[in-house]
Amino acid sequence: MTNMKDLKTLPYKDREFFLQGNATCAGCGLDLSLRWALKALGPKTVIVSPASCLNVVTGVWPKGAPDFPMINMVFAGAASAATGVYHGLKARGIEDYTVVAYAGDGGTTDIGLQALSGAAERGTNIIYVCYDNEAYMNTGVQRSSSTPVGAITTTTYYGKVQQKKNLPGIMSMHNIPYVATASVGDPLDLYDKFKKAKDIKGFKYIHIYAPCPPGWRSPSEKSVEIAKMAIDNGMWILYEIENGFFRLTGKSKRLTDPKKRKPIEEYIKSQGRFRLVKKEQMEKLEQYRELMWNQVSKELLFQQMDEKSR
């Protein structure tokens, strides 16, 4: 791992690939995530974007601001289109480009899941990224299966009833060489994970926590703070699974003890989408956090057993 510790030593620190003045809203987590990801991936990167905010903001003339080759694709087709781009480039003898599908949570956890699972099973040499703003934002904030319990959207007026789908968990079951979670609340960790994924052959999956001020009803200047809160309170766990080896990263390494996790009240209060959350939904949100950490504990336990048996 590169373990980038300092912004000043970052390659491409003075080079932007996703340019200023683009049409994303102020404080957009998608914008931040892509900016950092591209600094790790460098200029030889092709982005495939299915219908999503990214797809919209890169296509709005005269504010389309990608300084990288990019293909806009249908909502369900990110992973299959990226597969085609990879093989097309390969057939022409071009193997030094990184092909990346960069999709929203709707395009990943709902409509694009079939193509995603297929590409993962085939082991296509691409990186698939889900920037998770926890709803269908560009079409006016409808719920996705990645929306958390209690969040108000235009299709869940009183707050979503079901729990958030654990897509990184599902992807880890595909036995692909690299699965990671990341957050715009820890850009250097995000940077390191993209740097690592770039050099691994096969299918890589990175799931990024990406706040959306208009969709979350949160102040635009608070996006990074909210993302950091989610890490500190354990609602978003930073980890990577490299060739089956599970590892917590960033601040999440210090949070295996539940007592060290901050309470979630402040986090819930920071976003208007949770304004109708009552005791019952609060308990469900806490149950979700517990469930995710229980899975982490199992992973860590399996690993210890595996190491002992060697």
Interface positions with ligand SF4 (CB under 6 A): 24-25, 28, 30, 53, 57, 133, 137-138, 212-215
Residue the block writes with tokens 């390659």? 11
Q: DSSP letters of 73-136?
A: E-TT-HHHHHHHHHHHHHHTT--SPEEEEEEEHIIIIITTHHHHHHHHHHT-S-EEEEEE-SSB
Q: Which residue is closest to ligand TPP by CB?
A: 104
Q: How far is the CB of 170 from ligand TPP (least distance, A)?
A: 16
Q: How far is the CB of 18 from ligand SF4 (least distance, A)?
A: 12
Q: Does 165 bind ligand TPP (CB under 6 A)?
A: no
Candidate residues 33, 133, 233, 281; the one interacting with ligand TPP per rule CB under 6 A:
133
Whichever of 115 and 248 has its CB closer to Mg ion, that residue is 115
By residue count, the chain amounts to 310
Task: List binders of ligand TPP among 53-112 (CB under 6 A).
Answer: 53, 75, 104-107
Q: Which residue is closest to Mg ion by CB?
A: 104
Q: Does 133 bind Mg ion (CB under 5 A)?
A: yes
Exposure string (b/e) for 192-204, b if CB count within 10 Å is 16 or more? bbbbbbbeeeebb
**How many beta carbons lie within 10 A of that of residue 215, not counting itself?**
27
**Dist. CA 146–CA 167, nearest whole Å:** 8
Q: Which stretch binds ligand TPP (CB under 6 A): 51-59, 169-177, 178-186, 188-196?
A: 51-59
CA distances 59 to 21, 24, 46, 50, 55, Å, are 13, 11, 16, 12, 6
Q: How far is the CB of 14 from Mg ion (least distance, A)?
A: 31
Whichever of 4 and 137 has its CB closer to ligand TPP, that residue is 137
**Dist. CA 143–CA 221, nearest whole Å:** 24
**How many beta carbons lie within 10 A of that of residue 54, not counting itself?**
29
Candidate residues 104, 185, 187, 250; the one interacting with Mg ion per rule CB under 5 A:
104
Q: Does 31 bind ligand TPP (CB under 6 A)?
A: no
List contacts with Mg ion (CB under 5 A): 104-105, 133, 137
Footprint on this chain of ligand TPP (rule: CB under 6 A): 51-53, 75, 104-107, 133, 136-139, 144
